[in-house]
Structure 1
Amino acid sequence: MNEFLEQRQEEMLGLLERLVNIDSGSRNKQGIDRVGEILKEEYIALGFNVQTITEEVQGNHLVIRHPEAQAPELLIVAHMDTVFRDGTAAARPFSIVDGKAHGPGVVDMKASLVSLLFAMKAISDSGLRGIENVEILLTSDEEIGSITARPLIEAHTEGKKAALIMEPARKDGSLVSGRKGGGDYTLHVHGVAAHSGIEPEKGRSAVEELAHKIIKLHALTDYNEGITVNVGIIGGGDATNVVTPEAVAHVDIRTTKLSQAEPIDRKIREICAVPDVEGTTITVEGAIDRPPMERTEGTARLVELIKGIGEGIGIDVTDTKTGGGGDASYTSAAGVPTIDGLGPVGGNAHRDDEYMEIDTFVPRCLLLAKTIVKLSE
């Protein structure tokens, strides 16, 4: 398989260039569907069946299985959307500089889409078992929280013994064995307006109330337990001489254990239910709705298996935890041993200087292919 892939690196880079040069931001259905059609044609040419899950607003999802797949044990998930605005591909098209590929979404995760396809090609060419043991989901809205993809992913975890998620490897090459969960809240604070000079005593400041709540909410952070509460955006008031009647805050919550969600949610609502400024009230919207990817015994075994494969092909495989969310959380929460970060190595995702290290393209593709084969024995 290594020789097969090495001979096709230029072909891999050519497909990567095609995909990167298509705007496929999460709200760009047309662009995402173009990416999907290119990949669909590739998988059909390889002999796979491809089912299109049509979405009216978001891009379509693809469910890919080999005709010989009766009860595939491996679920592989990759996303086709990026975070970049329309026009970015034309303004900053695919390029290669000093051994690094650049362009919008090059490593997060269009290189992974190519790597996954060519891993399937390499396994097919080798004659080894594997392609009939996988079910592949290519989704369209991971970057905005997998709004439509989440139920699809959760439905396809049934009967799976392992899930491989195709986010890129970390900058140091690490796989991801743990991710934080969390959610978002919006606090609407209601007070009473008054002239701040003539009759301030008649006012009830929503900004003052919000200030008290920010301090109390941030006090819920517990670094030892991996819990963080961050009031990231606040707003309120139109003039300095008015006691502010309305204020708003947007809050980000991160957790490391599924069991932490309910207690944190309860504490947030308890804090907001009791005013510090008499005469003010708070309306709370939101929830902790993203489960964490916990490092289970099954995940640990997967890490060790992949480390062993890496040793055989000259890759020092390590694993790490990250605070960011992702689709691995949904497969993990469903009880399926999950490993993330199986794409090529790169960095600066979501930035103008995002890159993929070209010399990791083939080795990481080989690592993925051998992992699928090993898990299919």
Structure 2
Amino acid sequence: MPNSIRYHVAGALCAAIVTAPTPGATQAVTPVEQRIRAHVEANTESAIALLERSVNINSGTMNKAGVEAVGMLFAGELQPLGFRTSWIAMPPVVNRAGHLVAERQPRRRRGRAAPLRILLIGHLDTVFEGEGQQFVRTDSIGTGAGTSDMKGGIVVMVQALKALASVGALDDMHVIVVLTGDEENAGDPMELARDDLIRAARRSDLVLSFEGGSDSTAVVARRGSSDWVLAVTARQYHSSGMFREGAGYGAIYEAARVLTEFRTALAGQPLLSFSPGVIVGGEKVSYDTTMMTGTASGKTNIVPPSAFVHGDLRFITEGQLDSARAVMREIVARNLPGTSSAIHFSKSYYPAMAPTPANYSLVAT
């Protein structure tokens, strides 16, 4: 997603959230809705200031202190609106900062049915670490790590809630907010990393996500995502013996073979994608799968004995995932002479949400 946000778009989206008409119906904007919209417009500069404060906090996923600091910033915005907030720290095994959970109960009114429970979701962490970056405003455009993905979305959420509170509408709503701290690089095991979000979803009647998207498309499905790591070992030999029976082909040629065969065998399958995002190879190689960083050293006159490749695999159904993994395992097993390859697939991953007739029907309406 582009690393910028247009303020007038954010303001319009905020107004649309709180004044959206029923699909297919034509209705005038009510006086209350006009007041909500006016509140949004009157507080544009304060929203931009909040965005700037959040962007200037480095909250790359693995910067735990920064992620929590952004969470505390937004907790401070929600508490005056009547939300009870809590920071849910992750256990050490997950190796992530944690999540912000906030909830506001509705005012009890005798004889009235309980309102729908609305879950608002987003994430505090950013793709880019943002080290040394600062928020920069140029006319109606702001840039900086996380301005669009998705600190800008959280600001829109907060401004919408403030606008509702300004007319008393929030008093009759049951709202739960969950802002995760590891959306860009989820903690493992996923069962622990997503437990709080899942439990909140089970308590809710509907969910609104505030991460930006294209105005020209409607989403009826979501691909799942799984990581894989290819580890290759080979005989170390003087490069003058390359391709000979005693030396073999080396780890880097074997890694290249595997990746090429992945591409030729699987590329073009509908909605399936796979990307080798990081590769290291040479004589001495180290790789950290959590931080996704590695080191490699060697010489140009040796047959390299080691290589690692770390990538992702995105799929639309569990069947497609199983099939792709089976093909990848078969390819890995066909080693070049003098090499040995093994592939590891992450045990916990984001499951796919395949398209359904009901989703297509919803879009059609």
TM-score, structure 2 normalization:
0.71
CA distance in 1, matches of 2:276, 2:314: 12
Tell whether 2:206 aligns with 1:162: yes
Task: State the structure with bigger RCO (CA 8 A, min sep 6), 1 or 2.
Answer: 1
The structure with the largest alpha-carbon Rg is: 2
In the TM superposition, residue 285 of structure 1 has moved relative to its aligned partner by 1.8
Tell whether 2:110 aligns with 1:68: no
CA distance in 2, matches of 1:75, 1:31: 24
Question: CA RMSD, aligned part only?
Answer: 3.0
Tell whether 2:265 aligns with 1:220: yes
Q: Which stretches in structure 2 are left out of the alignment for 5+ residues?
A: 1-35, 108-113, 283-297
Tell whether 2:228 aligns with 1:185: yes
CA distance in 2, matches of 1:79, 1:203: 50
Question: Which secondary structure does the structure 1 equivalent of 2:85 belong to?
Answer: strand
In the TM superposition, residue 297 of structure 1 has moved relative to its aligned partner by 4.7
Return the match for 1:35 from 45, 70, 80: 70
CA distance in 1, matches of 2:241, 2:364: 71
CA distance in 1, matches of 2:322, 2:172: 40
CA distance in 2, matches of 1:187, 1:242: 21
Distance 1:17 1:228, change over 3 A: closer
Are 1:220 and 1:229, in contact at CA under 8 Å, matched by a contact in 2? no
Distance 1:102 1:66, change over 3 A: same
Give 1:152's aligned residue.
Answer: 196
Distance 1:146 1:136, change over 3 A: farther
Distance 1:185 1:44, change over 3 A: same
In the TM superposition, residue 66 of structure 1 has moved relative to its aligned partner by 1.0
Return the match for 2:275 from 208, 223, 230: 230
In the TM superposition, residue 303 of structure 1 has moved relative to its aligned partner by 5.1
Question: Which secondary structure does the structure 2 equivalent of 1:226 belong to?
Answer: coil
Give matches, 1:307-322, under 5 Å.
none
Are 1:191 and 1:244, in contact at CA under 8 Å, matched by a contact in 2? yes
Q: How many residues align?
A: 300
Give 1:337's aligned residue.
Answer: none
CA distance in 2, matches of 1:29, 1:265: 33
CA distance in 1, matches of 2:361, 2:116: 20
Which residue identity does 1:78 align to in structure 2? G
Give matches, 1:80-229, under 5 Å.
80-85=124-129, 87-89=131-133, 92=134, 94-128=135-169, 132-145=173-186, 147=188, 149-170=193-214, 176-197=219-240, 200-205=244-249, 206-229=251-274
In the TM superposition, residue 78 of structure 1 has moved relative to its aligned partner by 0.8
CA distance in 2, matches of 1:183, 1:223: 18
In the TM superposition, residue 293 of structure 1 has moved relative to its aligned partner by 4.1
Return the match for 2:343 from 284, 290, 300: 284
Regions of 4+ moved over 6 Å:
none
In the TM superposition, residue 283 of structure 1 has moved relative to its aligned partner by 1.9
CA distance in 2, matches of 1:209, 1:137: 44
% same residue: 30
In the TM superposition, residue 244 of structure 1 has moved relative to its aligned partner by 3.1
Which residue identity does 1:65 align to in structure 2? E
Give 1:244's aligned residue.
Answer: 304
Distance 1:166 1:259, change over 3 A: farther
Distance 1:49 1:254, change over 3 A: same
CA distance in 2, matches of 1:125, 1:302: 32
- Cα deviation 1:197-252 (Å, max 9, x = unaligned): 36943112233433332222112324352112333444433334333333333333
CA distance in 2, matches of 1:298, 1:66: 31
CA distance in 2, matches of 1:193, 1:243: 5
CA distance in 2, matches of 1:257, 1:130: 41
Question: Which secondary structure does the structure 2 equivalent of 1:22 belong to?
Answer: coil
Return the match for 1:25 from 53, 60, 76: 60
TM-score, structure 1 normalization:
0.69
In the TM superposition, residue 108 of structure 1 has moved relative to its aligned partner by 1.3
